[in-house]
Chains A and B, each alone.
Chain A
Amino acid sequence: MKKVLFSIVCMLLIGTASAQDDKFKALFVYNFTKYIEWPKNKQTGDFVIGVLGHSSIISELKAFTERKTVGSQKIVVEEILSSEDYTKYHIVYVPTKLSGQAEDIANKVKGKGVLLVTDKPGMAATTSGINFVKVDNQQKFEVNTTHLENEGVKHSHTLVLLGIAVNN
């Protein structure tokens, strides 16, 4: 009994993910849709945001995008469970803990009109078009315009001004 109680306490303590952080990251992701233009072939059907693996950001994204559209496209949020065809997504978000897969995904979606959003310091310089970073405990994002072009999406200049420009 003592061990069970102790384990419960420990488990409660281990869950350190910040829901507040996820909420604002989701808000950012939703906002990116206003500053990015996807190729013509992806402007029909649902607008699909994929989140790699199980992440609490999914529920936050769903809360923000419920009844929302990008143009006339209805926004759908999906969990990416296995290495499938990433090109069907408009945005792929790679959580910090799965950052190791980002490079592989970047290679697979090159030129396919998929915005790759990562969440690990340094990833914008090496892999993704947009990467979340924290500066002085404030949530910011880095933008690598070269990578955005490689991903086959067009960006607004405002996005670069609001973010931290990182080009390799």
Chain B
Amino acid sequence: MYKKIFCIMLMLIMASQSFAQQKDVSKMTREDILAMSYDELGAMPLEDVMKLTEILGVSLNELYEMLLNKDVTSASKKAESSFDSPLSTTVISYDEIIASGARNIQEAMRLVPGVIVREKTNGNYDIHIRGNNNIPDENLTVYTENSMTLVMIDNRPIYNYINGGTFWESFPIDIADVDRIEVVRGAASALYGANAVTGVINIITKNPESEDLHINGQLQGGNLGSYMGSLNVGQNIGKFGYRVSGNYQKMQRTTDKFYVFQYDSLFNRDDIQTLPDKTSYWLTVFNPMESIKDWHPYPETAVDRYGVNANLYFNAADDINFVLSGGYQDSYITSSSFGDPSISITGRGIKSTYANFIGKAKGLTLQSNIMFSEQDIVYKNVGFKADARTFNLNAEYDFYLGGLNIRPGFSYQSATYDDTPYLIADTTGRYSSGYMNGECSFNSIAGSLRLDYKMLDEKLRFILGGRFEKFDTSDDLYFPFQMVASYNLNDKHMFRIVGSMANRSPFIVDSYSNFDWNRQGRPFPSHMKFNGDKDQKLASTKNVEVGYRVRPVRNLFIEAEAFMSSTKNFGCLLPESVTAYVHTDSMSVTVSVPNLGPIYQTKSQPTAAIPYQVNLKYQNIDVDAHQYGITLNAEWVANEKLIFKAFGTYQITKLRDHNCYNNSQIVTDMTTLAAVNASQGKGIVGQGVDSYFSVPFTATATQQLENGGYKQIEVGLAQNMLIQQMMQAGLTKEEAAKQVEQMAVAGSAEWNAAAQQAAALMAQQQTTINAEMPSVIAEQYFNYEEYDQTLKRLQAAGVYPTLYNGKTYDGRYEKKEVEHKATPAFFGGFSANYTPIEKLNIYASGNFYSKQTYTTSNGTFEADPKFILNCKVSYKVWKDNAVFFNARNLLNDKKQEFAWTDETRGCYLVGLDLKF
């Protein structure tokens, strides 16, 4: 009996063992199947093989969904598939960024439709959504910066409050931190707050997903001095989780030279200091009061940055979780200048620390963050460095009332900038050399409401969003809004229409500019004052879009979006008034030094007028940018090994009521008018002495003295003193100048004594050499509304041409409609992601844009059409860890992509992608 029971039990155990060894096909995953050997597969009956293909097939469908219909939250602030997204939305995943070979987050933006990305210097990019850049034209290069896009990291705004632009290099995070980047094209302030005028870029970082230690990142190095790495480590421990990350990036420029506007060519850094000014032989192109070696301590460096981040997560329950993040970054780049120097590119150094808290409980989301930063936006250029503190608080509550989703919100934003820690006060304790000369603060509060209603089996959807914003810089109340209707026909066709209005935020340049530019040693005018104006209107846009998405088959996604926008209330710093010295006769000019008396005398030429003081004020301008365009985007998963993407935008931007506001021309015109009026006894505010810096010196002598440790200005002073002495001894000016030159070259005792004397004078802050010209002082105010008529009247009276070097009035202040050429009319890109075998991945991508023309106060720059090809080939050597070759600008196309910035070059790198 026992034997029988024993045998039965043994047989049952053996049977169960045997059963256990059989794989349960229905529970197998795609990875399990792909990991099976030929023998294992061959041993399977056809029934099981059929099941395997079903699993693989389903997985492929999931792959399509994953690739073509990614989840997105930015578009409506709720997680939903990008196919259903009510706005023009693109999501770029971490995997795609890694596969593409993009070296940083900026370059990854080249994967997004509707975004124009132009490389300025190696690894530094200009990034615009649909353009509208360089408005107004004929002004400072800084107006080419994108100041109308809301850029965020985890919903934390990170644009700067100087002009609303984004210092991309100062992000504490890098690619390893990124989970995905969501881009919304079109005005979206109603959902996100101020400054989402052309769109939103929201970089969403990873959350630890499991209790296993997760590590990802990459290390790479190549030509152009490129070394970079970013690493991210995280895991969950019970209800808690952590994630820490670090990144470092160093890239060199393609040249160590600098473009000098006046000479239209590149020069070595050290040669620029003494480069003569073409317009005034006794001056130099570069400000003699500053040192170009200080400005550009690393002329070859394009990017040198690092950042570290730490995040703590607490998942109390499925719908209650908290994240606390903090980090630090330090960056230095060389790129297009924020200022108005004689060279096109300057350095920028930024250090910042941030803390960010996000709490979600049921339907309530609370986010608060603070950032402290030190921003030297024109590196070592006196007056451009400030400490900044920004604080944001945002609360939203999400709930349903029947079928209506309601999301009220409140937000508070505060920013404080202070440049006084980096300025030297005068004897009265007053600051004057900064761009703010004090502490400036912005505060804004906003209330928002979003209503989302779905009907007809959720196929038809209406969204209404509105936001009231109050900035403390102005009495005006702003009301950006958004209206969306979408209809999802049958999960294959989706139609949508969006109408929205959004406005820009006020920024320091607009509201608080208080820059007194003492141009001693520079061509006229001697002083320029830049004033902000809080009462100006904020730039705002009205935007209408019609969109259609279709998935004719599972593996193909096509999207078309047609858009039309009107943007007005642009603003810029424009001349407000000019104070001019008006001379009508030839007169003697005496150059004198305090405590030393006259050292140089000459006769001045008859001069109409010299602008002495120019006041510029931030002013709205009439121009209205009308934009029409269409963006097409297609993504095709040919099979699980090959994925194609192609996108392109064609757009036309017309500037209506456009005036050609070139500040230099306006100042010249106003000076001329001042002279005309003064000759008629009008506008005269007093008698004065025109005093300006006029130190002649030569490059050779300067070099000699610099070798001896003297400053350039001291050289000029020494030369003047010696020349004066010799002229008093009977030599002509030319003879004296020649002799002084020889003394300087020889380093004679006399020369050294004069130089020491000059240096001593300088040390006593007796820095001014005055040319004194008794004059009439006249003021002229600029009113562009009437300017056109004023100039026409002057021309009709025959006055204008005689005073303006014979140049006749050319009608440049007449309002016209012109085509805006700074934004390329056609731009786009493509990618092909090919995985011929599991371990090998080849990602080829390209971007192109049509011709573009930048017109700034420095002249006109035409960027030719360009096609940029990139390719990354990676091979997995162990699990998901791969070695790779990465080629950026594979064809080494050197064409400049941005005005007066560096030639681009191919950057070829090898490296490791890490994923554990």
**Closest CB in chain A relative to B41 CB, distance in Å:** 5
Bound complex: CA A3 to CA B639 (Å)? 28
User: What chain A residues lie within 8 Å of B837 (beta carbons)?
Assistant: 19
The answer to whether A28 and B49 have CB atoms under 8 Å apart is yes
CB < 8 Å: which of B56, B836, B871 contacts A24?
B56
Bound complex: CA A136 to CA B64 (Å)? 12
User: What chain A residues lie within 8 Å of B50 (beta carbons)?
Assistant: 140, 162
* A138 adjacent to chain B (CB < 8 Å): yes
The answer to whether B832 and A13 have CB atoms under 8 Å apart is yes
**Closest CB in chain B relative to A47 CB, distance in Å:** 14
User: What chain B residues lie within 8 Å of A137 (beta carbons)?
Assistant: 57, 60-61, 64, 554-555
Bound complex: CA A162 to CA B61 (Å)? 22
The residue in chain A whose Cβ has the minimal distance to the Cβ of B555 is A137
The answer to whether A162 and B47 have CB atoms under 8 Å apart is yes
Selecting from A30-38, A79-87, A108-116, the interface stretch reads: A30-38
User: What chain A residues lie within 8 Å of B58 (beta carbons)?
Assistant: 138
User: Which residues of chain A from 15 to 32 have any CB-CB distance to chain B below 8 Å in the complex?
Assistant: 15-16, 18-21, 23-24, 27-28, 30-32
User: Which residues of chain A from 33 to 50 have any CB-CB distance to chain B below 8 Å in the complex?
Assistant: 34-35
The residue in chain A whose Cβ has the minimal distance to the Cβ of B638 is A16
Bound complex: CA A66 to CA B42 (Å)? 10
* A68 adjacent to chain B (CB < 8 Å): yes
Q: How many chain A residues touch B (Cβ–Cβ < 8 Å)?
A: 35
Contact A136 to B57, CB < 8 A, known contacts A13-B832, A27-B42:
yes
User: What chain A residues lie within 8 Å of B61 (beta carbons)?
Assistant: 136-137
Bound complex: CA A111 to CA B837 (Å)? 40
**Closest CB in chain A relative to B557 CB, distance in Å:** 15
The answer to whether A24 and B639 have CB atoms under 8 Å apart is no
The answer to whether B42 and A18 have CB atoms under 8 Å apart is no
* B844 adjacent to chain A (CB < 8 Å): yes
CB < 8 Å: which of A6, A13, A64 contacts B38?
A64
Contact code string A91-106 (vs B, CB < 8 Å = 1, else 0): 0000000000000000
* A70 adjacent to chain B (CB < 8 Å): no
Bound complex: CA A68 to CA B41 (Å)? 13
User: What chain A residues lie within 8 Å of B638 (beta carbons)?
Assistant: 16
* B417 adjacent to chain A (CB < 8 Å): no
Bound complex: CA A64 to CA B639 (Å)? 23
The answer to whether B641 and A64 have CB atoms under 8 Å apart is no
* A139 adjacent to chain B (CB < 8 Å): yes
The residue in chain A whose Cβ has the minimal distance to the Cβ of B837 is A19
* B842 adjacent to chain A (CB < 8 Å): yes
Bound complex: CA A125 to CA B842 (Å)? 39
The residue in chain A whose Cβ has the minimal distance to the Cβ of B53 is A139
* B869 adjacent to chain A (CB < 8 Å): yes
Contact code string A38-74 (vs B, CB < 8 Å = 1, else 0): 0000000000000000000000000111101000000
The answer to whether A27 and B49 have CB atoms under 8 Å apart is yes
Contact A5 to B891, CB < 8 A, known contacts A24-B49, A27-B49:
yes
The answer to whether B871 and A9 have CB atoms under 8 Å apart is yes
User: What chain B residues lie within 8 Å of A20 (beta carbons)?
Assistant: 34, 56, 640-641
The answer to whether A30 and B42 have CB atoms under 8 Å apart is yes
CB < 8 Å: which of B44, B53, B641, B832 contacts A138?
B53
Contact A18 to B640, CB < 8 A, known contacts A6-B869, A9-B871, A12-B834:
yes
User: Which residues of chain B from 18 to 67 have any CB-CB distance to chain A below 8 Å in the complex?
Assistant: 34, 38, 41-42, 44-47, 49-50, 52-54, 56-58, 60-61, 64
Bound complex: CA A30 to CA B52 (Å)? 15
* A2 adjacent to chain B (CB < 8 Å): yes
The answer to whether B42 and A64 have CB atoms under 8 Å apart is yes
User: What chain A residues lie within 8 Å of B892 (beta carbons)?
Assistant: 2
Bound complex: CA A65 to CA B892 (Å)? 49
The answer to whether A18 and B641 have CB atoms under 8 Å apart is yes
The answer to whether B41 and A13 have CB atoms under 8 Å apart is no
Q: How many chain B residues touch A (Cβ–Cβ < 8 Å)?
A: 37
The answer to whether A64 and B869 have CB atoms under 8 Å apart is no
Interface of A is mostly: helix
Bound complex: CA A49 to CA B856 (Å)? 73
User: What chain B residues lie within 8 Å of A6 (beta carbons)?
Assistant: 869, 891
The residue in chain B whose Cβ has the minimal distance to the Cβ of A9 is B844
* B890 adjacent to chain A (CB < 8 Å): yes
Bound complex: CA A128 to CA B554 (Å)? 29
Contact code string A122-161 (vs B, CB < 8 Å = 1, else 0): 0000000000001011111000000000000000001100
* B275 adjacent to chain A (CB < 8 Å): no
With most chain B CB atoms within 10 A of its CB, the pick from A2, A16, A20, A23 is A20
Contact A138 to B56, CB < 8 A, known contacts A6-B891, A16-B642, A24-B49:
yes
With most chain A CB atoms within 10 A of its CB, the pick from B52, B53, B871, B891 is B53
The answer to whether A162 and B46 have CB atoms under 8 Å apart is yes
User: What chain A residues lie within 8 Å of B642 (beta carbons)?
Assistant: 13, 16
Contact A68 to B56, CB < 8 A, known contacts A13-B842, A137-B554, A162-B47:
no
The answer to whether B46 and A13 have CB atoms under 8 Å apart is no
The residue in chain B whose Cβ has the minimal distance to the Cβ of A28 is B49
User: What chain B residues lie within 8 Å of A18 (beta carbons)?
Assistant: 639-641
The answer to whether A15 and B836 have CB atoms under 8 Å apart is yes
The answer to whether A31 and B836 have CB atoms under 8 Å apart is no
The answer to whether B640 and A28 have CB atoms under 8 Å apart is no
With most chain A CB atoms within 10 A of its CB, the pick from B41, B52, B554, B871 is B41
Bound complex: CA A40 to CA B386 (Å)? 94
User: What chain A residues lie within 8 Å of B836 (beta carbons)?
Assistant: 12, 15, 19
Bound complex: CA A23 to CA B42 (Å)? 11
Contact code string B860-871 (vs A, CB < 8 Å = 1, else 0): 000000000101
With most chain A CB atoms within 10 A of its CB, the pick from B46, B844, B890, B891 is B46
The answer to whether A138 and B57 have CB atoms under 8 Å apart is yes
The answer to whether A12 and B842 have CB atoms under 8 Å apart is yes
The answer to whether A35 and B832 have CB atoms under 8 Å apart is no
CB < 8 Å: which of A13, A34, A68, A159 contacts B834?
A13
The answer to whether B57 and A64 have CB atoms under 8 Å apart is no
Closest 9 CB pairs of A and B: A138-B57, A139-B53, A31-B46, A137-B57, A137-B60, A63-B38, A18-B639, A64-B42, A2-B891
Of the A-B pairs whose beta carbons lie under 8 Å apart in the complex, a sample of 30, sorted by A's number, is A2-B891, A5-B891, A6-B869, A9-B869, A9-B871, A9-B890, A12-B834, A13-B642, A13-B842, A16-B639, A16-B641, A18-B639, A19-B837, A20-B56, A23-B41, A28-B46, A31-B45, A31-B46, A31-B49, A32-B46, A34-B46, A64-B38, A64-B42, A66-B38, A136-B554, A138-B56, A139-B56, A140-B50, A158-B46, A162-B47
6 extra interface residue pairs, beta carbon distance < 8 Å, beyond A20-B34, A137-B61: A18-B641, A19-B837, A28-B49, A65-B42, A138-B54, A158-B46
> Contact residues of B with A, CB < 8 Å?
34, 38, 41-42, 44-47, 49-50, 52-54, 56-58, 60-61, 64, 554-555, 638-642, 832, 834, 836-837, 842, 844, 869, 871, 890-892
> Contact residues of A with B, CB < 8 Å?
2, 5-6, 9, 12-13, 15-16, 18-21, 23-24, 27-28, 30-32, 34-35, 63-66, 68, 134, 136-140, 158-159, 162
